[in-house]
Amino acid sequence: MTFSAIIVAAGSGERAGAGEPKQWRALAGRPVARWSLEAFQAAGARRVVVVVSANGADEAVRAFAGLSGWLLVQGGATRADSVKAGLAALGPGADEIVLIHDAARPFLTNQHILALIAALGGTDGAAPALPVTDTLKARSASGAVTTAPRDSLWRAQTPQAFHLGVISAAYDAWAPGEAPTDDLAVVERAGGRIALTRGDPMLFKLTYPEDFVMAEQLARPQRVIRIGQGFDVHRFGEGDGVWLCGVKIAHNHSLIGHSDADVGLHALTDALLGAIGEGDIGDHFPPTDPRWKGADSTVFLRHAAALIAARDGVINNVDVTLICEAPKIKPHRQAMRERLAELLSLNVDQVSVKATTTEQLGFTGRGEGLAAQAAVSISVPG
């Protein structure tokens, strides 16, 4: 079904507070009005007229950079004046379907558009509407508050769909001096048949500053939680201390390895790599490479964290378990948590370090080596 669209974007957005008019502000990186233009174009609009204020043309050109197939016209003092300017730009075209939409309602979808066009059918005007669910209060000039019935009340949204000939004639017949707040009202006054379709809370209008806070949250790309786990073991050998989770602890042995043998950091690095499917620590830092001989394992951890950050990922929490009979971990746990938090730019409460023995069983029980396991949770764009 062919249709054209008018996007009214000539308001000054007084209620949205200081700054750029709301329709040109960025919402998740895209100007508010651009969201609707892209939706109409994706739905196959034949023509899209964007109505802007006398000084809105530059902002529109910037906001619509890279898009084609739109036409700018200058609006008027009221929304109705702006709609009339848009209708005049479309010209005659009696049967052509036109959808009139507020630029300030960015979350327009293909489904909204298709449902409206279908609902227009044999009627003269169709619009999405939501039943009023809050209790309505009326306050008189004297301050007296009463409750108003809400049973038959609906909140009309946009886009609103019409046949071009019908809406143009209805506006021509509208008495000057009185401004309708939507386009359906104009067709109602002219005696037209109206269809209300199911409204959608997502079609809310950005009106007040707090609406932008909600819109940003809704526009934010979905994120998914991922988990990763890692495990590592190093053998004890001669020495006077061990590196664990980036902290040096005095001990009657050291851990033997190609790097500094920090099993805690190695298990944690593997867990982080695992969460993003990036192989393991050996893939990134081959033990055959002399560069990593005696290396400070914080380099490995920072590398894994950087790979997550490069995917716009965020670490939710990390949890490391050290498995040994000695040295005693507990006195150093807090220092380890703080060190890991520093290395990963986390709060200490996002970092857990635990320790356990294996009841003198197995290689850790016999004091031949020290094992570590780690689990992490991260969130990444879905």
Compare residues 206 and 329 and give the one whose CB is closer to Mg ion. 206
β-strands 145-148, 97-102 pairing: unpaired
Per DSSP, what are the bridge partners of residue 319? 352, 375
Of 104 and 261, CB closest to ligand CTP: 104
Report the partner that residue 78 touches, choosing among Mg ion, ligand CTP, none (CB closer than 5 to 8 A by kind). Answer: ligand CTP
Taking the complex as a whole, how short is the minimal distance between the CB of residue 78 and Mg ion, in angstroms? 8
CA–CA distance, 159 with 7 (Å, rounded to integer): 9
CA distances from 372 to 128, 152, 229, 308 (A): 58, 66, 11, 22
- Closest to 105 measured CA to CA, from 133, 128, 75: 128
Q: Which residue bears the tokens 């489904």?
A: 111
Binding mask 84-123 for ligand CTP (x = CB under 6 A): ------------------xxx-------------------
Taking the complex as a whole, how short is the minimal distance between the CB of residue 211 and ligand CTP, in angstroms?
A: 10
Residue 18 token pair: 């200081």
Q: Which stretch binds Mg ion (CB under 5 A): 8-16, 151-159, 188-196, 280-288?
A: 8-16
Give the x-and-dash track for 56-85 against ligand CTP (CB under 6 A).
Answer: -------------------xxxxx--x---
Which CB, 15 or 311, lies closer to ligand CTP?
15
Give least dist CB 149 to ligand CTP, A: 26
Nearest to 231 by CA among 354, 332, 321, 297: 321
Among 3, 4, 6, 13, binds ligand CTP (CB under 6 A): 13
Radius of gyration over alpha carbons of the chain, in Å? 32
- CB-nearer residue toward ligand CTP: 116 or 318: 116
Residue 85: helix, strand or coil by DSSP? helix
Q: How far apart are the first and last CA of the chain?
A: 33
Binding characters for Mg ion, 10-39, by CB under 5 A (x = yes): -x----------------------------
Binding at 352: pick from Mg ion, ligand CTP, none (beta carbon under 5-8 Å per type): none
Pick between residue 9 and residue 268 the one whose CB is nearest to ligand CTP.
9
13 binds, among Mg ion, ligand CTP, none (CB under 5 to 8 A by kind): ligand CTP
Helix axes 32-42 and 110-120, enclosed angle (nearest 10): 60
Place of tokens 């006398």: 54
- Would you count residue 8 as binding ligand CTP (CB under 6 A)? yes
Place of tokens 């190609």: 258
Give the Cα separation of 19 and 25 in Å (integer): 9
Residue 10 makes contact with ligand CTP by CB under 6 A: yes
Rounded least distance, CB 40 to ligand CTP, Å = 14
Interacting residue with ligand CTP among 1, 2, 15, 282 (CB under 6 A): 15
DSSP one-letter code for 141: T
Closest separation in Å from C-beta 167 to Mg ion: 20
Applying CB under 6 A, among 6, 9, 99, 117 the residue interacting with ligand CTP is 9
Q: How far is the CB of 105 from ligand CTP (least distance, A)?
A: 7
The residue sitting closest to ligand CTP, measured at its beta carbon, is 11
* Alpha helices, DSSP H, located in the chain: 32-42, 57-63, 79-90, 110-120, 164-173, 184-189, 209-219, 263-275, 281-284, 298-310, 333-344, 362-365
Widest distance between CA atoms in the chain: 97
Where along the sequence are the contacts to ligand CTP (CB under 6 A)?
A: 8-16, 23, 51, 75-79, 82, 102-104, 205, 207
